[in-house]
Amino acid sequence: MADGTIEIIDGRARRRRWSAAEKLRIVAETHEPGTTIRAVAARHDVYPSLLRTWRRQAREGQFVTQSMAHFVPVRLSDAPPPRSPLVAEPAPAGLIEVVLPDGVRLRLGADISTIALRRVIAVLRG
């Protein structure tokens, strides 16, 4: 190969497979000023006739590439995300439901001791 790399093609795959993105990238090189098809073909170790075929296929829109991943802008904030409005669901029988001012709901068994309930609330407020 022209760039010093060696490609080994085993018995089952007699020809290289080029992805549509690779073909489009190579074809784009042929459109750079001062570049010839022969030079680009030699650089990528393909026949100039194959490169001309790829150019024609690209003009006709025959290469379909998968959409590339894109970055999206992200803004970080120290404020917690807004809570969705709580839908009032009745507590099942035998449960005590406590709704704290910040929207946290506690559902506790009716058999919980007062001391344990105070500890849980103190931890949540702390």
pLDDT in tens, 44-80: 989 999 999 999 998 888 877 666 567 777 777 777 6
Whether 2 is covered by a domain: the verdict is no
Question: Would you tell me the crossing angle of helices 20-30 and 48-59 to the nearest 10 degrees?
Answer: 100
Q: Give the residue from 5, 32, 59 where a domain finishes.
A: 59
Q: What residue numbers bound the domain in which 39 lies?
A: 20-59
Alpha-carbon dihedral of residues 31, 32, 36, 41, nearest 10 degrees? -80
Q: Which one is predicted more confidently, 90 or 107?
A: 107
Q: Are 15 and 7 spatial neighbours (Cβ–Cβ below 8 Å)?
A: no
Q: How far apart are CA 38 and CA 16, in angstroms?
A: 19
Rg of the chain over Cα atoms, rounded to whole angstroms, equals 33
Q: What is the tally of structural domains in the chain?
A: 2
Asked if the structure places residue 28 within a domain, the reply is: yes
How does pLDDT run across 2-37, given as a tens digit for each residue? 567 777 666 565 677 888 888 999 999 999 889 999
- Cβ(55)–Cβ(30) below 8 Å: yes
